Amino acid sequence: MTPRHWAVLLALLAAAAIGALGLRAGTAGSDAARRFFRHPTAAFAVGVLLFFVLIAVCAPLVAPYDPSAQLEIVQLQNRPPSWMHPLGTDLYSRDLLSRLVFGARVSLAVGTLAMLVAVSLGAVVGLLAGYFRRWMDGVLMRLVDVGLAVPRIFLLLIAVSLWSQLPLAILVLTIGLTGWFATSRLVRAEVLSRRELAYVDAARALGAPPARVILRHVLPNAVAPLIVSAALGIGSVMLLEASLSFLGIGVAPPTPSWGNMIADGKEQIATAPWTTLSPGLAIVLVVMALNAVGDALRDALDPRREAT
Amino acid sequence: MRAPTKPPPPSLIGLAALVALTACTRPSTCRGDYCGTLVFAAAGQPDILLPPVSVQGLARDVYQQIFLKLADIGPSMNTLGDHDFQPQLSQRWEWETPTRLVFHLDPRARWQDGPPVTAADVAFTFQAYTDSQVHAESRPLLGGIVSVTARDSLTAVFAYRERYPEMFYAAVYHMYILPRHLLDTVPRPRWATAAFGRVPVGDGPYRFVSWTPGQSVELGADSTFFLGRPHIRRLIWQFVGDQQAAITQLVAGQGDALEFLGPLDNLRRVQQVPQLATYPYKSSAYGYMLFNVAAPLFSDRAVRRALVLALDRDRMNQSVWAGQAKVPPGPMPQLWSVWDPAIRSLPYDTAAAARLLAQRGWRAVGGGGSARTRGGQKLAIELLVPTTSAVRRQYARLIQAQLLTVGVDVKLVEIEPNVMQDRLAKGNFEAAILSYQADPSPTAGVTQHWGRGAPGNFGHYANPAFQRALEAAGHGANRPEEAARAWREAFSILNDDAPAAWLYAPNLVAAVHRRVADVQVRPDSWWALVRTWRIPADRLIDRDRVER
Amino acid sequence: MTAWLVRRCAAAIAIVFAVVTLTFLLIHLAPGTPFVPSDERVLDPAVVDGLRRQFGLDRPLGVQYVRYVVALLHGDPGYSFSLRRPIGEVLATTVPNTLLLSGAALAIDFLLGAAIGLYQAARARHRADVVLGNATLFLYSVPTFWLGLVLVLVFGQHLAWFPVGGDRNPVLYPSLSLLGRLGDRAWHLALPALTLGLVGAGGTARFQRAALLEVAGQDFIRTARAKGLHERRIWLVHTLRNALLPLITLFGLALPFLLTGAVLIETVFSWPGMGKLAADAIFTRDYPVVTAAALLASVMVVLGSLVADVLYSVADPRIRLGKGGARA
């Protein structure tokens, strides 16, 4: 790893730190932001997330090697961390730091996109069920019950078995399509509690079309729990992706993802533990940061809550 | 190799637990030469312990201790004629006519529930193995035998259609003799799920004791076994999730034996443990990358040859097996006597590979020649690998990188074995990495996979010249020099056509606890000789002394 | 109340039926064929075809479905293709194993989690709270199988404090006394239950802390304090009782996953349970086992939510089930 790469890494670290602190200072005017940053770990968590996102975006600049390049399949196989390879090499003599950095792209992307699918679908279903009630509510909620009746990983294994080789898009879609049930219940509850409010009633009485009522009056107030569940959702999708890779399904080789890096290294965990340690720690750090941000968001966006 | 380090001292908690547990056991009283408990670490679990219906290697490991064959193959693994075979269930045999073989059963042989083993059992077994409703895997291999009849209670007669070199081998190697009095009431279609397969009764050195589903199978020594009482009293197979867990069991001291350590790291882990001894043996397995000759890309012989030329197979073996494997000169394991370095095979030559590809119209594009196109189409292949084999997945990634250097884009498709089976059977693939556990007979093995129209010939390879050479090698084997020449010729033709790239024939290593003496690992079925192993009285450890 | 119960039961049956049908359809549509041995040897296709015909897999899908449902209604879930034994027999051994593991993990999860949550809430915003908060955050965010792999390596292999897998010692178990057998089972249960329990405890602690602090800030607590009641009494009697509701919610949510939520841990620790059975069945296309597992899992889920709703109505008098009450 050349000095240039170290310099880029440090620069990104600094940028993340400055970004987090700057965000805290810059939003000091907003009540919600002040509540957010009152959490002891909120700023640090934002910094961690910024760091990993920056690394993922600037991956080609940070990574000293091509993540799929098998450097020397005999001599450089399973080498422990060294100056040339700060995180070591794996079974196929690929540099782990490069794989981690490019893997960040895949893992974060899968997490975010699958979460978006799940949250959007859940929001739409929850809104429709909560607003229109009657038969639509009944049908949709029974569908949710069926979806919740099968444990997620079981459902995923079956869904994934329909493809003999899983394209990444299908993986993202399947994870998203199996994860919206709880969100829809959440949104429906929010909608139910607001649709009887006076101003919503008034809007309906004045003849506003349902779509307008939903979008202008009901949705904005249901957004807060949605944002929180989105933040937490990314974390749980990343853990799910790691679990699926452990079971043998997941992102296809040679594309690295943190999950399949752990799966690749699980057979050498006794003789070459660094192959699973770095991706594992990366996942833990990002998920911790996401959970911390989710907690802080929950307090920030809901003014009725007593600060905890 | 690093010097083995001392094992971690048993911790206080572990010790306390062990003391507490042993304090709660009945007093262990076994002493002397006939004690011992051997724990095999097994990845997976057996399907059914009824030989003709089982399709699993692990089940075979267990039931081969319970059932006997008419005669057993000798240590030389020679499958020709009958002089290298050793009596087992039969005491002796003779050729009444060139196509009639008569076995005289050992009168001491008894089923474990009492009745003696008779020739009627042998006839019954043959009918079961060749019954189309039983779906025995070895049914095609018994095609040369017309009938098996019982002349009297201890004489079984095998009648053949014609003479061929491996007729004796066909009669004895595949069939485990089954008890007619226990199985003839079970309708043949129900054999696949028969209750007998969960509580088998045999005539072998060990009897079935218990099977805790998902946990373990236990066998106990039959002290009245007519060929000699087994020294090791209990055999236990403990089921674990995968190979890695099996190695962990072994290294932690909870398992005593494992037949296949796998890639290098596992070997290193085991070598660091002083109480385990390693036993290398010639493996009966080999791995290869098969091309589907019927696929448009691979119908071109030159392209196939180019891909084989582009692979540095020695280097790949170094990486995966640390030199503990050889590149086979053809579709053969190290076990077969037909292994001959003089067979004409393709070398490692990327320049020649590039030339061949260019000749066939695949022009290199882009800087560095990392892609090739012909008429607007990119040179790309789809390579199937099963998700369950760590070794083959490793080869797949190495091959992917190596073929990239000559401009071939390899897309790895890691699929479940059941999907692999489907796609291979339907011919819906371009290339696949397969491995094959061969029987000792080259004739059967090669014919099954490379013979025209054979069930195992998934790549649809056919070449009349090869077919003729194969038949000459299989039938002219009565004169060894002629046979050797014929085999060399056949394999050379095969290699010229390059229907596959032969990847590895490993030296397998088994690990067995050091306290076990007289360990012999047979290459074709590793635990076949366990009944001759023993644990000397002065080396007994705690679990050996526990009586059931 | 009875009308509500009847309606819920009818809905439950419909849901289970829908789940089983969906699973049946999906697994039969999945590419690949059953009867392939796990040692990845490629079989003679004629043998595989013969087995498929023998088990009726060459019939049209609709016919297979009808036969399956009819058999199921007669109480016959069929034979497992890979294990070659009746599924009832298979489930009779694996289900108790998983319930044991999940039950033990749930106990560790709730006891530890509730205790940590209580301690954190009592010392809110002090140093102990912050440290424990980060610890629970870590536990909540770590991949369970990764934690399991590390624990097996450290405690099972290097330190040899616990066995590395299985649910009993096959060598000693048959000759142990009852006490010895219980001890052996407990010793094998310790590490996997601890792994699952720790990760769960992280989440429970956070949840419990938040719930307790929310209740603690409410008016009736302030009133009690103003009345001069002892601090500990306030905590234990008033706050805790009101914070029980979230625990019940969690319990109701966790109940269904007792059966299949432990797939990864069962794989890492070679624990012969339902989760591993179901996952293996999906990988080997063991159709009858997959549908049986789906049936079992969905029954657990609907039962669990039913039980949770009933407990809710008992614990919180403000909630009345059925007409005129808040809908869950």
Rounded Cα distance, A113 and A191, in Å: 25
Rounded Cα distance, C141 and A290, in Å: 9
Rounded Cα distance, C232 and C121, in Å: 13
Dump pLDDT digits (tens) for C142-178. 998 899 988 988 898 888 889 888 888 888 888 888 9
B414:A165 CB<8 A? yes
Q: Give the pLDDT confidence score for residue B293 in this predicted structure.
A: 95
Q: Give the pLDDT confidence score for residue B44 in this predicted structure.
A: 85
Domain assignment present for C194: yes
Q: Give the pLDDT confidence score for residue B179 in this predicted structure.
A: 96
CB < 8 Å to B29, chain C? none
Is C325 in the A-facing interface, judged by CB distances under 8 Å?
A: no
Kindly state the percentage of chain B with pLDDT values over 90: 58
Q: Give the pLDDT confidence score for residue B29 in this predicted structure.
A: 74
Of A102, A114, A54, nearest to A235 (Cα)?
A: A114
CB < 8 Å to A253, chain B? 396-397, 400, 412, 414
At residue B230 the predicted structure's pLDDT band, cuts being 50, 70 and 90, is very high
Q: Where are the alpha helices (DSSP H) in chain C?
A: 2-29, 45-54, 61-73, 87-122, 127-141, 144-151, 178-216, 219-226, 231-233, 240-242, 244-254, 257-260, 263-268, 274-283, 287-315
Q: What integer is the mean pLDDT of C183-197? A: 93
Candidates A40, A248, A280; nearest CB to C146 = A280
Token pair of B259 as six digits: 């037949």
Per-residue pLDDT of chain A (308 residues; tens, 9 = 90+): 788 888 888 999 999 999 988 888 888 777 878 888 888 788 899 999 999 999 999 989 889 888 888 888 777 888 888 888 889 998 888 999 999 999 999 999 999 999 999 999 998 898 888 877 778 887 888 888 888 777 788 888 888 888 877 788 999 999 999 889 888 888 888 777 777 676 677 777 777 777 777 677 777 777 877 888 888 889 989 999 999 988 888 887 778 999 989 988 887 887 888 999 999 999 999 999 999 998 888 888 775 554 44
Q: pLDDT averaged over chain B?
A: 88
Dump pLDDT digits (tens) for A202-221. 777 777 777 777 677 777 77
User: How far is it between the farthest Cα atoms of chain B?
Assistant: 81
Residue A238's alpha-carbon distances to A173, A283, C141, in angstroms, are 14, 7, 10
Of B505, B102, B80, nearest to B326 (Cα)?
A: B505
Candidates C146, C264, C282; nearest CB to A158 = C282
**Does ipTM come in above 0.95?**
no
Domain assignment present for C184: yes
CB < 8 Å to C162, chain B? 14
CB < 8 Å to A266, chain C? 149
Q: What integer is the mean pLDDT of B309-319? A: 93
Kindly state the percentage of chain A with pLDDT values over 70: 95
Q: What integer is the mean pLDDT of B301-323? A: 92
C270 or B194, higher pLDDT: B194
Q: Give the pLDDT confidence score for residue B3 in this predicted structure.
A: 41
B397 or B477, higher pLDDT: B397
Q: What integer is the mean pLDDT of C108-121? A: 88
Dump pLDDT digits (tens) for A116-146. 999 999 988 988 888 777 788 878 888 888 8
Query: Is residue B97 classed as helix, strand or coil in its secondary structure?
Result: strand
Rounded Cα distance, C160 and C36, in Å: 36
C54:B37 CB<8 A? no
Which range is least confidently modeled, A219-228, B264-273, B383-392?
A219-228
The answer to whether residue B7 scores a pLDDT higher than 50 is no
CB < 8 Å to C41, chain B? 55, 57, 436-437
Strands (E), chain A: none
Token pair of C72 as six digits: 């199921």
At residue B262 the predicted structure's pLDDT band, cuts being 50, 70 and 90, is confident
Residue C183's alpha-carbon distances to B23, B253, B309, C177, in angstroms, are 11, 20, 60, 10
Q: What integer is the mean pLDDT of C58-68? A: 93
B420:C84 CB<8 A? no
Q: Give the pLDDT confidence score for residue B181 in this predicted structure.
A: 95
Between B and C, how many residue pairs show a Cβ–Cβ distance under 8 A?
A: 209
Q: Whole domain around residue C116: which residue ranges?
A: 93-283+308-314
Of C27, C143, C292, B116, nearest to A286 (Cα)?
A: C143
Is C277 in the A-facing interface, judged by CB distances under 8 Å?
A: no
Q: pLDDT averaged over chain A?
A: 85
A73:B419 CB<8 A? no
Domain assignment present for C25: no
CB < 8 Å to A266, chain B? 244
Rounded Cα distance, C225 and B342, in Å: 96
Closest chain B CA to residue A72: B319
Q: Give the pLDDT confidence score for residue C327 in this predicted structure.
A: 39
The answer to whether residue C108 scores a pLDDT higher than 50 is yes
Domain assignment present for C227: yes
CB < 8 Å to C13, chain A? none
C40 or B206, higher pLDDT: B206
Q: Give the pLDDT confidence score for residue A162 in this predicted structure.
A: 86
Is C120 in the B-facing interface, judged by CB distances under 8 Å?
A: no
Number of domains making up chain C? 1
Tell me if A255 sits within 8 A of A241, measured CB to CB. no
Q: What integer is the mean pLDDT of B112-133? A: 95
Which range is least confidently modeled, B96-100, B262-266, B494-498?
B262-266
Residue B529's alpha-carbon distances to B331, B388, B521, in angstroms, are 27, 29, 7
Q: Give the pLDDT confidence score for residue A5 in this predicted structure.
A: 87
Rounded Cα distance, B163 and B80, in Å: 12
Q: Give the pLDDT confidence score for residue B13 in this predicted structure.
A: 60
Q: Give the pLDDT confidence score for residue C325 in this predicted structure.
A: 39
Domain assignment present for C256: yes
Q: Give the pLDDT confidence score for residue C59 in this predicted structure.
A: 92
Tell me if A76 sits within 8 A of A57, measured CB to CB. no
B249:C164 CB<8 A? yes
A149:C145 CB<8 A? no
Q: Give the pLDDT confidence score for residue A36 in this predicted structure.
A: 84
Kindly state the percentage of chain C with pLDDT values over 70: 86
Rounded Cα distance, A241 and B411, in Å: 21
Interface of A with C (CB under 8 A): 40-41, 142, 145-146, 148-151, 153-154, 157-159, 161-164, 192, 235, 239, 242-243, 246-248, 262, 266, 269-270, 273, 276, 280, 283-284, 287-288, 291-292, 295, 305-306, 308
DSSP B383: E
The answer to whether residue B172 scores a pLDDT higher than 50 is yes
At residue B136 the predicted structure's pLDDT band, cuts being 50, 70 and 90, is very high
A270:B416 CB<8 A? no
The answer to whether residue B440 scores a pLDDT higher than 70 is yes
Q: Give the pLDDT confidence score for residue C260 in this predicted structure.
A: 64
Helices (H) and strands (E) in chain A, counts: 14, 0
The answer to whether residue C322 scores a pLDDT higher than 70 is no
Chains contacting B (3 or more CB pairs within 8 Å)? A, C
- B417-426 and C45-54 helices cross at what angle (nearest 10)? 110
Residue B149, H or E segment: strand B145-152
Candidates C156, C179, C283; nearest CB to B252 = C156
Closest chain B CA to residue C31: B419
Q: How far apart are the first and last CA of chain A?
A: 45
Q: pLDDT averaged over chain C?
A: 84
Candidates C44, C159, C160; nearest CB to B456 = C44
Domain assignment present for C1: no
Domain assignment present for C38: no
pTM: 0.87
CB < 8 Å to C31, chain A? 161-164
Domain assignment present for C10: no
Q: What integer is the mean pLDDT of C232-248? A: 69
